Amino acid sequence: MTDAHTDLIAAAVCSHAERSPSQFVNRTSRLVVDPERFPDEREEMAAVGMGAVYTATSTGAQLRLPDASRNQRLLDEFFTPYADTLADQVDERLAAVGRAILLDVHSYPLHPLPYELHPDDSRPEICLGVDQTHTPEWLVAAARSALAPLGSVTINEPFRGTYVPLRHYGSDRRVASLMLEIRRDIYTHPDGGADLDRIETLAAAIARIADDCTREA
C-alpha cells in the first residue's frame, strides 16, 4: 500500500523542471488515514473497507473494528488538516495566477492486489487518472507525449480519477489535476529498492509535464 519512492521521484522532478514546482508530501501512512478518499458515501472503496479510514488491509484481512467515533477522531486529526492545508495552497496559487495545477504522484505493483476493484484491467507502465471536470485535454496530451517513451500509457486503467481538494472539487474549473500512477517495476530494482538512474529518467519525463503546466498557468 506504499507509494514507494515517490518522494525521490518528486524531488528529482523539481531538479529537472525549468521552474521548480511546489511539493505537497503526505508523510502519514494511508493505513492511518487516506487523505485522497472521499470521507463519506461517495467513496466507492468503502465497499472493500478502504474508505478514508481503512478497516481492511490490501488482502481483505481486518485492520480495525468498525468504530464511528474513532473514525471521526482520525478524520479530525489527519484528514481535515491535510485537506485544508492543500486547499489553502491551491487558493494561494489561484490568487496569484488565477489557476492551480496538481500532478498527483502514486505508484502501484505489477500484479493486482486482492483489494483492487478492477483486477482485470490492463496494468500499463503509466496510468493517467483523470477527472471529467478537472483534467483538461491539453494536460492529458502533454502527459501522453512526455511519458510515451517509458512504455504504455492508459487513461483511468487500472485506477480512476485524480485528487482535487474537496473545497474546489466539482465547482472550480480553475483547479486542474492529473494522477500519475507509475508501475513500480519501471523504476525499482527486483528487491524493491530505488533504481536512481531510472528514477532520473522518469523524473525528467514528468518534469516536461510540469514545464507545460507552468506555461499554461
What phi and psi, each to the nearest 5 degrees, are found at residue 204?
A: -60, -35
pLDDT at position 217 is 67
Mean pLDDT to the nearest integer, 22-45: 95
Q: Where are the domains of the chain?
A: 6-216
Q: Where on the phi/psi map is residue 192: left (φ > 0), alpha (ψ -120 to 50), or beta?
A: left
Query: pLDDT tens digits, residue range 78-100?
Result: 999 999 999 999 999 999 999 99
Quickly tell me which residue has 528487491 as its cell. Answer: 191
Query: pLDDT tens digits, residue range 107-117?
Result: 999 999 999 99
User: Would strands 100-108 and 126-129 be described as parallel, antiparallel, or unpaired?
Assistant: unpaired
Q: Where on the phi/psi map is residue 5: left (φ > 0), alpha (ψ -120 to 50), or beta?
A: left
CATH superfamily of 6-216: Zn-dependent exopeptidases (3.40.630.40)
Judged against a pLDDT cut of 80, whether residue 36 lies above it is answered with yes
* Nearest residue to 113 via CA among 53, 64, 158, 180: 158
In angstroms, what CA-CA distances link 120 with 8, 114, 117, 159? 30, 12, 9, 11
**C-beta separation of 82 from 35 below 8 A:** yes
